[in-house]
Amino acid sequence: MALPPKLWFQWQRLKKFLTSSFGTPGSSPSNSMRMCPHCRALIDRDASVCPFCGERAGPVRARGSTGTPGRVLGFIPVPTTASSVVVVANLVLYAISWYMTQNTASTQLYGAPAMGGINGEVLLRLGAKAPYILMGQWWRLVTAIFLHADLLHIGMNLWCLVDLGPQVESMFNAPKFTVLYLATGVAGFLLSLWWSPFGVSVGASGAILGLVGILIGVSFHHGHLGKEYRSQLWRWVIYIAIFGIFFRVDNAAHFGGLASGLVLGYLIPEGEPATRPSENLWNALAVLSVLIIAGSFVLMAMQLGQPLR
């Protein structure tokens, strides 16, 4: 006898969690789900019949082989999903900014900021969102997404990213996740620039609210189950809004990321692309996104030794 849709969905989430935690090497949450081509419900990747609408789900598209993840120096695991790569990139940029802050403090009379704080000038040199964008340094809209002001800042953002990133990546796929993360992050800082053109800010919060918005947008395609999930997501938004009242955060970037994510999540179909041309398109957009990110940091590095202007 088939399980009720709600119970079936909860069982799939539990099974996915157990697989990602204790499964075989090479298993990944982003590989376990796909979208039913008839009702757009999320179903098990290997299911032949959708348990929600009863229609045949069609064949599973072939993917590349998934071997055991490689390791750096024999013991450091190599990130195997787009969301884990983003987490590592944030940590690397924080380590670089912390090191530069310590060097700056050692040459000046005052010490480094407490609680792992990053020197404001260091953040500006590494690409914080700042008025310099209006002078042609557009790459700051990208680099600012990967910078953080202190340990609490990066800790809160990575906690949310580790929770939300795999969810979005499992509903879409790695190329779509890459494009959506960059697009919502840039949209957040664009609204921040419009709202406060002379303000300085950093952080992944806009992109993270973008992930929340994407999940909210997706939930409109999943009936009653989506409505329940959407109410949980709105609680995230309320908590973050309350946090923004008591702490100095870039609320415009938050709202810009949330709004753009909601629209993109509603319009872009979940799951693997249905046709080869659409798959090629998303792969190309993902490559372009990676090139934009890499190019932005190259442009940042080229002006590191120059006076801020």
Work out the average pLDDT over 270-275. Answer: 86
User: pLDDT tens digits for 46-77?
Assistant: 777 877 777 776 655 444 434 444 554 444 45
Q: Domain extents for the chain?
A: 128-302
Spell out the residues 6+ positions from residue 69 whose beta carbon is closer than 8 angstroms to its own. 25, 26, 77, 78, 80
Indicate the helix (H) or strand (E) that contains 48: none
The alpha carbons of the chain give a radius of gyration, in whole angstroms, of: 21
Compute the distance between CA of residue 53 and CA of residue 60 in angstroms, rounded to an integer: 18
Compute the distance between CA of residue 177 and CA of residue 281 in angstroms, rounded to an integer: 14
- Are residues 57 and 50 in contact, defined by beta-carbon separation less than 8 angstroms? yes
- 307 falls in which pLDDT band (50, 70, 90)? confident
For the chain, give the number of residues: 309
Single out the residue of 286, 308, 21 nearest to residue 169, CA to CA: 286
User: pLDDT tens digits for 87-115?
Assistant: 999 999 999 999 999 887 766 656 666 66
Task: Identify the three-state secondary structure at position 63.
Answer: coil
According to CATH, the topology of domain 128-302 is Rhomboid-like fold (1.20.1540)
Compute the distance between CA of residue 87 and CA of residue 90 in angstroms, rounded to an integer: 5
- Are residues 161 and 208 in contact, defined by beta-carbon separation less than 8 angstroms? yes
Percent of the chain clearing pLDDT 70 (strictly above) = 74
Spell out the residues 6+ positions from residue 93 whose beta carbon is closer than 8 angstroms to its own. 126, 146, 147, 148
User: pLDDT tens digits for 172-217?
Assistant: 999 999 999 999 999 999 999 999 999 999 999 999 999 999 999 9
Compute the distance between CA of residue 132 and CA of residue 263 in angstroms, rounded to an integer: 29
Mean residue pLDDT of the chain comes to 81
User: pLDDT tens digits for 283-292?
Assistant: 999 999 999 9
Q: If DSSP states are collapsed to H, E and C, what string results for 246-257?
A: HCCCCHHHHHHH
Dihedral angle at the C-alpha atoms of 41, 47, 48, 54, nearest 10 degrees? -40
CA angle, residues 269, 274, 279, in degrees to nearest 5: 90
Spell out the residues 6+ positions from residue 151 whose beta carbon is closer than 8 angstroms to its own. 115, 116, 117
Give residue 183's pLDDT: 98
Indicate the helix (H) or strand (E) that contains 33: strand 33-35
User: pLDDT tens digits for 126-154?
Assistant: 999 999 999 999 999 999 999 999 998 99
Give residue 103's pLDDT: 84
